Amino acid sequence: MTDLVLLHGGNHGSWCWGPFVEALHQQPKSFERVITLDMPGCGMKRGRDVLSLRLDDVVEELNQDLRSAGVSQAVLLGHSIAGAVLPRMVLAAPQLFSHLVFLACALPDEGQSILQLLGSTLHGESRDHVGWPLDPVHATPQEMAVAMFGQDLNAQTLEWLLSEVSQDTTPPCVATESISREGYAGMISASYIITQRDNILPVDWQRRFAQRACATEVIEIDTAHEPFISHPQLLAEAVRGIERVR
Here the CATH number for the domain that contains residue 83 is: 3.40.50.1820
Domain count, the chain: 1
Expressed as residue numbers, the domain containing 72 is: 4-245
Q: What is the pLDDT of residue 246?
A: 65
- H helices within the chain, ranges in order? 18-25, 55-68, 86-92, 114-118, 141-149, 155-165, 173-176, 203-212, 227-230, 232-245
Which tens digit of pLDDT belongs to each residue from 47-62? 999 999 999 999 999 9
**Which of 154, 153, 135, 152 shows the shortest CA–CA distance to 144?**
135
Instruction: List pLDDT tens digits, range 218-238.
Output: 999 999 999 999 999 999 999
Tell me what pLDDT residue 27 has. Answer: 82
Residue 85, Cα to own-chain centre: how many angstroms? 9
Q: How far is CA 68 from CA 53, 72, 96, 157, 241, in A?
A: 21, 11, 11, 33, 28
204 φ/ψ angles, rounded to the nearest 5 degrees: -60, -35
Give the whole-number percent of the chain exceeding pLDDT 90. 93
99-151: pLDDT as tens digits: 999 999 999 999 999 999 999 999 999 999 999 999 998 999 889 999 999 99
pLDDT average, residue stretch 160-164: 95
Q: What pLDDT, on a 0 to 100 scale, did the predictor assign at position 1?
A: 84
Decide if 148 contacts 133 (C-beta within 8 A): yes
